[in-house]
Amino acid sequence: MAGTLTFDTVLGDDSSVTDKLIVNGNTSGTSSVLFNNIGGSGAQTLNGIEIISVNGQSDGVFIQDGRIAAGAYDYSLVRGKGSNASNWYLNSWQDQGNTTQVLRPESGAYAANLAAANNLFTTRLHDLIGETQYTDALTGEKKVTSMWLRNEGAITVHGTAVVN
C-alpha cells in the first residue's frame, strides 16, 4: 500500500458534500481509502459521489478501507465508467449488469424487531399480578379464581419490496 487517504463525506445521494482529491497528473500504485460519515443518513446514488478525480493517466488503484454504511445503505468505492473511468466514486448500488440497491444486512433484523415488539407485552395474568387468591364469602375458604379473560388483536405483515 502506498498510503491511506481519509475523506469526510456526507453519505447521501450523488450531490452529497465531500472532501475530494483532484489529481492534475497521473496515478499509480495502490492506496487505501477511509471514509468518515459527517451527517449523512444514506440515499440512493445514480452515478455516485465523486471522491477522486484524475486529470491524467489513472493507473492507480484505490481500495476501500472498512465498511461504509449510512441509514439503510451500504456504499462501495468504485472506479467510474466510460468517460469517467479515471475517476472514483462512492456508490450505494452493486454493478452486476444492473443497478441493484445495496441494503444493509441489518434491515431484516429491524423488521423482525418490529414484529417482536408487536407481542412484547403479551403476558398472562399470573405474569402480571401473581396468584389471584380470594376468600369465599359463604365458606371463608381461600380459593384461586377460575377464569380470567384477555382479548387482543394485532396484524403483522411481512414482505419485501424492490425499488428500481
Residue 18, pLDDT > 70, answer yes
Looking at the chain, which runs of residues are DSSP E strands? Answer: 4-9, 21-23, 30-37, 49-54, 61-64, 68-70, 73-79, 88-91, 93-95, 99-101, 133-135, 142-144
Distance spanning both ends of the chain, measured CA to CA: 37
What is the rounded distance in angstroms from the CA atom of residue 39 to the CA atom of residue 20?
17
Asked if 31 contacts 62 with a C-beta cutoff of 8 angstroms, the reply is yes
Residue 30, pLDDT > 80, answer yes
Task: Supply the pLDDT for residue 96.
Answer: 55
The string of pLDDT tens digits covering residues 86-145 is: 999 999 876 656 556 666 777 778 778 887 887 777 777 777 777 777 888 889 888 877
Residue 77, pLDDT > 90, answer yes
Task: Supply the pLDDT for residue 76.
Answer: 93
Backbone angles phi, psi at 110, to 5 degrees: -60, -45
